[in-house]
Structure 1
Amino acid sequence: MYGRRTILVKKGVNVLNWLDKLERKFGRYAIPNLTVYLLAGYVIGFAVYYLAPNLLRYLTLEPYYILHGQIWRIISWVLIPPTGSLFSLFFLVLLYYSLGTALERTWGTFRYNVYIFSGIFFTVIAVFILYGVFYLIYGVALPMSSIGLISTNYITMSIFLAFASIYPDMEVMLYFILPIKMKWMALVYAAMALYYFFTGSLAVKVAIGASLLNFVIFFCSSRNIKRFGPKEQARKAKFRQQSRPHMTYSNGARHRCAVCGRTELDDPNLEFRFCSKCNGNYEYCQDHLFTHEHVK
């Protein structure tokens, strides 16, 4: 759930990055349980694939038709299932439900939303760029179907890679039989992606490139991604448990500046952070964070 955060300031460096700033402004608009909606879309697309296969051609990501008014294609292509096998779809839904919901709990709803939607956005932008390049070269508008359909398989791949990077040593039961660590599965996944990138169609290259670009940009821009790791989460939980009796103030306030005494009840726009140079759990508002005298 979106809420106020207390950020640790170490050696005078503000670790609040651009995602945290966006979360403060737009976090309330994040969609909870986004994985459920994504996988439900796969199931709907799978049903359409078998019950009304001709309908799928109205859902594909086709820049030509989008530019001619069929704007629903910008998002409807996400409904196209990454597999045509019911057996594979069953295991995909089970696996990615657990991975996606775990990522959302670890990152928070807003950060997870940004990761998924940016992957979709990069794919759409890449397809339009490819469409424009072909138009400049050949002078005609070539449909994407002539070079292959854009698959949603690589959106789920980005979820898998993100989870493996945070929980590399977690073991999963592959097909409920073989225990294997996430980091080894991620290496196999990455090798397969590279193989399909060099041997697949242009559409496959676009889908893989967009998903990997999303993964790289997201993790490179998250300078403090280690704070989402299991060890760091356990440390924070222990700290919250130990500090809770000392951080409950009058009228139910949870944050109070050690200099001016103001709380979040006095001004909901106040930000509170701890200072690592002070001995003890001293919290300061933004007006006194860098001007207070350190407690030794």
Structure 2
Amino acid sequence: MNWLNKLERKFGRFAIPNLTMYLLAGYVIGFGIMYLMPQIIGWITLEPALILRGQVWRLVSWVLIPPTTNLISLAFLVLLYYSLGTALERAWGTFRYNVYIFSGIIFTVIATFVLYGVLYGVYGFSVSLSSVGMISTNYITMSIFLAFAAMYPDMEILLYFILPIKMKWMAFVYAAMALYYFVMGGIATKVAVGASLLNFVIFFLSSRNLKPYTPKEKARKAKFKQQTRPHMTYANGARHRCAVCGRTELDDPTLEFRFCSKCNGNYEYCQEHLFTHEHVK
């Protein structure tokens, strides 16, 4: 994904580490609001009509509304999605994970405004989306699960800490549930399902090569770094040295170094000797 690589080079420093923790903490806060101050819920929902009248905090505050109103379910959700989200962030990197989560939120907001515009055009007056169904964050957390299942389909988890089940089978169940809610739910539910899962569709359709993020490839890279680390520390802190001329990046910052796949061992060469050296057997 060249477009995402370019964005990461420009804006990667603004990425929010541990985004999953903040997202789940917002659910806990929202859960507390629902039971301790239920009258405030009406002030944090995603309502385009009220946002256009100046209540701009609703663009963000709706994310506090938890996907479930059951305390036990919320506890399981927090434990499960914290582990899934942090694993995805480690695999993709902080910036890519931020893009994935925020795109789901932004798509939902945009789709909600489109829905409001359509309803306004049909009925000719402002329509409260609460009357057709509250926009939920449930499908944003579902997109995290689907992304994890796509990355690690054969990983097993203990459902409710009891039943072992592979991620890919749970993903099929989640996808079936999303399809059911999309078909049987109200218009607001259809918007929430479609918009919040659009990030999953776009991300994986545009990611033709996910091999660098697979567990097998990451383990191979980690093993390679561990094996080469003792051989890549030289005098004055240099990390690269040509096995022929002995020059390092400290001698000439413009030098490029590569390992030779035909040499028996971890031998590194500068660009001048990469193709002219005698292979070590």
2:210 aligned with 1:232: no
Matched residue, 1:55: 40
What is the aligned counterpart of 1:195 among 180, 184, 209? 180
- Deviates further, 128-137 or 36-45: 128-137
2:148 aligned with 1:160: no
Q: TM-score, normalised by structure 2?
A: 0.86
Cα–Cα, structure 1 residues 105 and 272, in superposed 2: closer, same or farther, change >3 Å?
A: farther
Q: CA deviation at 1:257?
A: 9.4
Question: What is the identity percentage for the equivalent residue pairs of Structure 1 and Structure 2?
Answer: 70
What is the aligned counterpart of 1:106 among 80, 91, 95? 91
In structure 2, what is the Cα distance between the partners aligned to 1:216 and 1:226? 18
What is the aligned counterpart of 2:229 among 244, 252, 266? 244
Q: TM-score, normalised by structure 1?
A: 0.82
What amino acid is the match of 1:94? L
Matched residue, 1:83: 68
Q: CA deviation at 1:138?
A: 2.1
In structure 2, what is the Cα distance between the partners aligned to 1:145 and 1:130? 12
Give a deviation string over 1:241-277, Cα, whole Å, max 9, x none. Answer: 2222343355434467999x7849987xx997969x9
- Deviates further, 206-215 or 218-227: 218-227
Q: Which runs of 5+ in 2 are unaligned?
A: none
Matched residue, 1:217: 202
Correspondence list, 1:11-90, <5 A: 17-90=2-75
Cα–Cα, structure 1 residues 251 and 122, in superposed 2: closer, same or farther, change >3 Å?
A: farther
What amino acid is the match of 2:180? Y
What amino acid is the match of 2:36? L
Matched residue, 1:208: 193
Cα RMSD for the two superposed structures: 3.0
- Deviates further, 130-139 or 243-252: 243-252
Q: CA deviation at 1:240?
A: 1.4
In structure 1, what is the Cα distance between the partners aligned to 2:256 and 2:41? 51
What amino acid is the match of 1:64? A
Cα–Cα, structure 1 residues 253 and 34, in superposed 2: closer, same or farther, change >3 Å?
A: farther
- Deviates further, 105-114 or 159-168: 105-114
What amino acid is the match of 1:193? A
Answer yes or no: is the 8 Å Cα contact 1:254–1:264 preserved in 2.
no
Q: CA deviation at 1:165?
A: 0.6
- Deviates further, 24-33 or 37-46: 24-33
What amino acid is the match of 1:38? L
Cα–Cα, structure 1 residues 278 and 146, in superposed 2: closer, same or farther, change >3 Å?
A: same
**Which structure 1 residue ranges, 4+ long, deviate > 3 Å from structure 2?**
245-251, 253-259, 261-267, 270-275, 277-285, 292-296
Q: CA deviation at 1:81?
A: 0.9
Answer yes or no: is the 8 Å Cα contact 2:119–2:127 preserved in 1.
yes
Q: Which has the higher contact order (CA 8 A, sep 6+)?
A: 1
Answer yes or no: is the 8 Å Cα contact 2:249–2:255 preserved in 1.
no
Give a deviation string over 1:43-94, Cα, whole Å, max 9, x none. Answer: 0000000011110111001111111111111110000011111111111111
Number of aligned residues: 274
In structure 2, what is the Cα distance between the partners aligned to 1:294 and 1:91? 60
